[in-house]
Amino acid sequence: MSREITRIGVVGLGTMGAGIAEVFARSGYDVVGLDANETAVERGRGHVEGSTDRAVKRGKLTEEERAEVIGRIRFTTDYADLADRQLVVEAVPESLELKREIFEQLDKVVEPDAILASNTSSLSVTEIAVATARPSQVIGMHFFNPAPVQAFVEIVSTVVTSPDVVEDVQEVAQSLGKLPVVVGDKAGFIANALLFGYLNHAASMFETKYATREDIDAAMKLGCGLPMGPLALLDLIGLDTAYEILDTMYKQGRDRLHAPSPVLKQMVTAGLRGRKTGRGFYTYEAPNSPVVVPDALTPSAAQDGSVATRPVEKVGVVGSGTMAVGIIEVFAKAGFDVLYVARGDDKVGKVRTGLERSLDKGVARGKLSEADRDAALARVSGTTKLDDMADRDLVVEAVVEDLAVKTVLFESLDEICTKGAILATTTSSLPVVDLAAATKFPQDVVGLHFFNPAPVMKLVEVVSTVATADDVVATAVDVCRRLGKHPVTCGDRAGFIVNALLFPYLNDAVKMLEANYASADDIDTAMKTGCGYPMGPFELLDVVGLDVSLAIQRTLYLEFREPGFAPAPRLEHLVTAGYVGRKSGRGFRSYDG
């Protein structure tokens, strides 16, 4: 560090600013916190006192440490009190005009060599910097909410920011116990640039009534392991804040995927701004309350039990791969009579062996009793004859993801199965309606998209075509619940819910890497530590398989014809070169073995 920084100023004492002041004080810095008036200052003091009180109750701070932290922060409304500060962090609302006014004022007060930092999450740091006579001393220091908890900090360097300033701010961030990543001055930086495109897409999905808000959120939490669903997260961020961030990103990049969904503007105009107002996509117990209460929006008829279901006791599964074995296990453990079909006696035996091994692991881990394992195995039988599916109430296809292969199979099942039997496909990307069209009873065909590994993953996407009968959808939902799964319903559209939201986000991450904006490691760090994702996008791409990701992204692009969905060239090039992820030993990273 070219200078020793010990004195910090924070301008703006809302939730974020007060959190930033607390973070610095916890690390031993001398802090002055400023806001516009005494009311705002007292509110900021209350934020710090409340946060540190919670930290004491959780055992994160002692009472003595709490007193020391609060004692290191001096609250004021007078800019003159910032005169001796070596680093001042601005944390006011996302208004370029407001931030420029504050930086002009700070420029007049603090020493010429003091660093001025903005906590902006989307605005141009360059445009803020030129409001001062020291643009080389201006930088972005984007903390994530809540600042005392979130470890990630984006340090935003402009084309004129001094390298010494970047180095100093990096070291300050590290002294706070944060993980700093240096990026250029581009709208959204890393985390928001990737996050808000995904959130905007989810809002559009809700707006078009493709799926309910509950199903969209459940799909992303259960299907991707995310800490919150996208619509609940928008409510937490604030729909007005989300709109402003998206609007700023769109104006800078002109990417249609960042053009704010009209429903966001409508809700903001109506005062439905999320948790802070008590209503957004969800209704809350009170403003700023996390407690959701029921409102006028209700589940679909297929979900609410108002549609009669068909009886399902005998289930057929066609396939011999990992997914098929997992689905067989799920049905057998739930008490269904299961008959599976595989090509050849050897594959029938392999399926049985795979099933036994999986159930034995369940017993070894204490998830299953020996009696339950034996009962599940007794419910399962195998055959090589597709004709044996004739007495099944439900037949689930789990074969290779090839439309021609699946179509032939559905044509055969249509001839074999009795009238009224339900035919289900586990496809994750192919049109369900194409398979339905291969039968005489398209109303009896539905998608049941299980997630891998099927015995573990709770989510199932129930996909209806324009021809699927209501009672078939209701039956599929009921069967999923009997399996102990969480069903979400949606229409027959490329990607359904999860893949339609997940893979464009992954594709955007590849484009960001391709543009040399940030490294794969930094992007992964941003999404894991900044957004709480269980895996970074490049870790996930290597696990899923770059070839699988490319195929899904191509499908999305062909169906939606959205230029932003076009597969990233680097993804295509890596797949062409045989770098498809962990299974090949090389993807965005190299692997042993």
Pairing of strands 394-397, 7-11: unpaired
Separation between Cα atoms, residue 522 and residue 536, nearest integer Å = 9
> What are the Cα distances from residue 455, in Å, to 314, 358, 430, 587?
19, 9, 23, 28
Separation between Cα atoms, residue 545 and residue 460, nearest integer Å = 21
Separation between Cα atoms, residue 116 and residue 184, nearest integer Å = 17
> What is the b/e burial string over 423-443, where b = at least 16 CB atoms within 10 angstroms of the residue's CB?
bbbbbbbbbbbbbbebbebbb
What is the DSSP code (8-state) at residue 44?
A: H
The separation between the first and the last C-alpha atoms of the chain, rounded to the nearest angstrom, is 42
What is the DSSP code (8-state) at residue 390?
A: G
| Helix ranges, 258-321 (H) | 262-269, 301-304
Please report, as a single letter, which amino acid is at residue 519: S
> What are the Cα distances from residue 560, in Å, to 194, 382, 417, 440, 504?
20, 41, 35, 29, 12
Q: Which of 242, 236, 240 is nearest to 201 (CA)?
A: 242
Separation between Cα atoms, residue 104 and residue 99, nearest integer Å = 9
Q: What tokens does 592 get?
A: 């042993």
Q: Which residues are catalytic?
A: 428, 449, 461, 499
Q: How far is CA 398 from the centre of its chain?
A: 27
Q: What angle do CA 82, 84, 90 make, to 5 degrees?
A: 40
Element (H, E) at 340: strand 337-341
Q: What tokens does 347 get?
A: 């594959």
Q: Are 14 and 146 in contact (CB under 8 A)?
A: no
> What is the b/e burial string over 119-142, where b = at least 16 CB atoms within 10 angstroms of the residue's CB?
bbbbbbbbebbebbebbebbbbbb
Pairing of strands 394-397, 314-318: parallel
